[in-house]
A and B are shown apart, each in its own frame.
Chain A
């Protein structure tokens, strides 16, 4: 099947009088399959927004190729615009318009009617806020309205640029459900985020980006298992003799602290079964590797989103 997005070797350097040259995007290539939930994960300044804007057709790269639904995004044709929807990093509202007026205006721009606008407002859970001015909505509600505007034209492909940044955890979770349902309707979704858990929870595949480069691409599970990182199993001290601790570790790393014993094992099942058999489960904590470890592995530095 034809890919929804195919990006080859993008380069983009910003030249500012004060900032000098910034290589915002430096040789980025990736492919997003139709129907996929694709994430671009990276810290602030990684080049996510620049990449997204190039793919959307808002910016021209210095070099490189983009195929969007089989065509070039520059110049932007109305046919292509009709098949995609986007939410930009800053929520772009008409100042002074209400939520309903905003979504209805966008509905008109996509050539769909008021009924569709009302449905979208309902879908994002803002029907009760229809008469509220956009700028008076809470951060989470504004993001929902932005998303409603992005999907009002019934697009095949949806771009979401850090929709959950600056939201409280509850609002973030609510937005996750919305994004999942958009993808479940069969739309291809491209999401940028600097939240590890978000990428892990939502994305079929993730591209890890830092300093303008994509360092790894794959499903979160794949990326983590490729790391071959040990699972950390912690229990309270005093339940096992020192000899037993050594035996259970089976040659792998173990450290005994004042309050906890920490095993780092590649055979978590065996170890957990053994601990259960011994009845040494007090203070049990299991931490498997996550995308943070993947980031540390590919960049050589700690995650600092």
Chain B
């Protein structure tokens, strides 16, 4: 047949594989543009996890031990030796006032001295700070005793106790919070992203239309997955930058976060496809995604150290890809363990992704797309 507007030969790509990669790239470009222009996606995926990190790190404290507030009842000569950085001193008129302040939680300890007898009252309300105050005050008293003894008998050797926290990562919330929040961020963008996309495809029949082009539906799905993986990497880079600004120290193995994040994303995308297959509308998909990611975040130690969770929670979380991603990231990024140490986690995520993808494939109603 003859057609009035022939396609110019120089515009026609001839080889099938050339055509396929051209189609793939143009779809990646179109979908990436779609993603970037959807501001809610940008906020949700790129900004929200960083904001959570900043928020939680400030809630859990900066990692430096807080200073106990100590009330000085009357004249307490032993305090002359105190390091002003260790305590926050205030004066109390008498012991009753001081004890009332302790009971109200307005102070953490009170100290009185009567000649050689130093009495420390410490708070049960603020048990941690109270004990911290007690510890430091006892050290102060010991210190004073040592000084007195050394002066009295300079030849007698004394033992001096120096203490320092050996495992300083346990002191800094950013070190254990960052991998958890990153795992959570990867999870929500994977699950919400895939579920939302499936529902969108059901609504506007874009996939159906693309099936009628020479590019296969497979090319389109591959392009969509590629965009999700790229987003996950961008999200990881941005998040780690924020975490470093908040005091996270990256290990030399940090680069291994890349395959971990990609595997995790695959697992979360598979979950999202299952949910998107069930949901009928956008809000429905978001609701289902929340129902899955929220409890998962809680059992996976996304927002607090999993070790402090009840044992049944820890048991449940064995099935959560978010926990495995969290722990694997913790190991390589924070603790600097080699990739070999996280192979079990990586293997779990791969297996999980494969099984859920199979489930999605078997249960999906392709007719609706």
Contacts and interface: CB of A to CB of B under 8 A. Distances in A.
Interface of A: 34-35, 56-59, 76, 78-79, 81-82, 84-86, 88-97, 101, 104-106, 108-113, 115-116, 119, 123, 149, 153-154, 156, 184-187
A108 B206 contact: no
A186 B2 contact: yes
Nearest to B14: A111
Nearest to A76: B211
A101 B26 CA distance: 10
Interface in B1-32: 1-8, 11-13, 16, 19, 22-23, 25-27, 29-31
A56 B212 contact: yes
The 5 closest A-B CB pairs, nearest first, are: A108-B26, A92-B209, A113-B11, A78-B214, A96-B37
Given A94-B34, A96-B38, A185-B4, A88 B209 contact: yes
Among A79, A84, A112, A149, the most chain B Cβ lie within 10 Å of the Cβ of A112
Contact of A88 (B7, B26, B208, B367): B208
A96 B34 contact: yes
Given A111-B22, A154-B3, A94 B11 contact: no
A93 B27 contact: no
Contact of B212 (A81, A89, A93): A81
Contact of B214 (A58, A111, A113, A123): A111
Contacts of B6: 154
Given A76-B211, A112-B7, A156-B3, A88 B205 contact: yes
B216 interface: yes
A91 B29 CA distance: 20
Contacts, number: 114
Interface in B154-183: none
Contact of A156 (B1, B12, B16, B30): B1
17 contacts: A58-B208, A78-B16, A78-B215, A91-B204, A92-B205, A92-B209, A95-B34, A96-B38, A105-B29, A111-B19, A154-B3, A154-B6, A156-B3, A184-B4, A185-B3, A185-B4, A186-B3
B210 interface: yes
A109 B208 contact: no
A46 B8 CA distance: 41
Contact of A110 (B2, B209, B213, B216): B213
Nearest to A80: B214
A192 to B, nearest CB: 15
Contacts of B13: 111
A112 B19 CA distance: 10
Nearest to B26: A108
A86 B209 contact: yes
A86 B208 CA distance: 11
B5 A186 contact: no
Among A86, A105, A111, the most chain B Cβ lie within 10 Å of the Cβ of A111
Nearest to A149: B209
Nearest to A108: B26
Given A78-B19, A92-B210, A186-B3, 4 more contacts: A94-B33, A101-B33, A105-B26, A109-B26
Contact of B210 (A96, A109, A123): A109
A123 B5 CA distance: 11
Contacts of B26: 104-105, 108-109
Contact of B5 (A92, A96, A154): A154
A199 B210 CA distance: 28
B86 interface: no
Given A88-B205, A186-B4, A95 B214 contact: no
Given A78-B216, A185-B5, A105 B19 contact: no
B114 to A, nearest CB: 77
Contact of A94 (B5, B205, B206): B206
Among B6, B34, B208, the most chain A Cβ lie within 10 Å of the Cβ of B208
B106 interface: no
A104 to B, nearest CB: 8
A295 B8 CA distance: 45
Contacts of A94: 30-31, 33-34, 206
B213 A81 contact: yes
Given A186-B2, A186-B3, A92 B12 contact: no
B38 A35 contact: no
